[in-house]
Amino acid sequence: MSQRRNLQGNQACALGAIKAGCRFFAGYPITPSSEVAETMARELPRVGGTFIQMEDEIASMGAVIGASMGGVKAMTATSGPGFSLKQENLGYACGAEIPCVVVNVMRGGPSTGMPTRPAQGDIMQARWGTHGDHAIIALAPASVGEAYSETIRAVGLSERLRVPVVVLLDEVIGHLVETVDLDGVAQEGEVWRKWASGPAQGYEPYAVTDDMIPPMARPGDGYRAHTTGLTHAPDGFPTQNPDLAVAAMTRTTEKLVLHRQEIESWRVTECDAADVVIVAIGIAARAARQAVKDLRDCGIKAGLFRPVTLWPFPEEALRDVISSSGAKAVIVPEMNQGQMVLEVERLLAGQVKVTPLNRIDGEAISPEEIVSGVWEVLS
């Protein structure tokens, strides 16, 4: 029997994580993500999992890291100010290659901003929020069904690649209610990280492997592992040897490049022979989808390119779409002062004109605004 349920995006994130095997959640209530924690508090004990409400966002991220190092799939959820507080520990997870998932439901900012209003101001923070060069993945669902399926995928990618994954929603998608067939979501079997095997003597927690993913030591299996946020050699101990430092840093970032094919995801709508291509995520992408229909009804060949994987950005896919479509213009609607547009401009420099369309007043961009923006660009 099909398991069809009316769910909020936030609730779908929680259920997706549990479906993927997440059994630990540590968090702190913050609008507009609190329903993720509420759902986890109710549902995790039913599957033998653990929910802890921590004293703050910093402690929440620390607890998630500790649980993951203990061998459990772990997740937290937050919004703008809390996401900022998590960054130091998130950087530690990046450097130490500790699998974990962070759901960030974006709201107006900076500071406490507009807690109940939607925004998309954390796009660049999701990629570069913590200091230094680091590897991280960010996924951007645009429906309740995707909030479910992409959170499942986030857990799998985090485990398989030993990397933190951010699930980036805006407030509208987080609170949107849609009917989702949970059993109808295509998914692979449950994914676990690569555990150490073989002789314990000589085990290196950050060994150089062909797939660039070192096997982790499962607690209790007898493998000695040293974990630190300091730049470390394959044995896990700190090093300032230039060659070892370069090798360690390069491996973690090149790891995502090597596995781009399984990480990257995007959706293309009506881009064949499009005169203008709209690039958008989240609720702005849903408005853009309607705008594409309205524009084509008026005789304007418009298309939509929607990154589902936001970081690493699907670079070649976007370039191929623009090249094959012969588009004369690209427009990037987003609910900030211009963040994703910077990446699009970088990728398409010299190929096509890129125009931003921004809104920062706590209201979602409408299809009519995008239609007007396209007319202006093409006039």
Amino acid identity for residue 126 in this structure? A
Q: What is the pLDDT of residue 183?
A: 86
| CA quadruple 176, 25, 124, 99: dihedral sign | negative
pLDDT in tens, the chain (379 residues): 468 999 999 999 999 999 999 999 999 999 999 999 999 999 999 999 999 999 999 999 999 999 999 999 999 999 999 999 999 999 999 999 999 999 999 999 999 999 999 999 999 999 999 999 999 999 999 999 999 999 999 999 999 999 999 999 999 999 999 999 998 876 667 899 999 999 999 999 999 999 999 999 999 999 999 999 999 999 999 999 999 999 999 999 999 999 999 999 999 999 999 999 999 999 999 999 999 999 999 999 999 999 999 999 999 999 999 999 999 999 999 999 999 999 999 999 989 999 999 999 999 999 999 999 999 999 8
Q: Which residues contact 3 (CB under 8 A, 6 or more apart)?
A: 181, 182, 183
Quote the pTM value: 0.96
Q: What is the pLDDT of residue 240?
A: 96
Contact criterion met (CB below 8 Å) for 59 and 76:
no
Cα–Cα nearest to 343, from 92, 103, 138:
138
Retrieve residue 176's tokens: 């949107």
Give the integer Cα–Cα distance in Å for 82 and 309: 22
Phi-psi category of 323—alpha, beta or left, where left has phi over 0 and alpha has psi -120 to 50? alpha
Q: Which residues contact 247 (CB under 8 A, 6 or more apart)?
A: 208
Check for a shared fold between 4-184 and 268-378: yes
Domains of the chain, residue spans? 4-184, 268-378
Domain over 268-378 is classified CATH 1.10.3720.10: no
Q: Any idea which fold 4-184 has?
A: Rossmann fold (3.40.50)
By DSSP bridging, strand 276-279 and strand 329-334 are: parallel
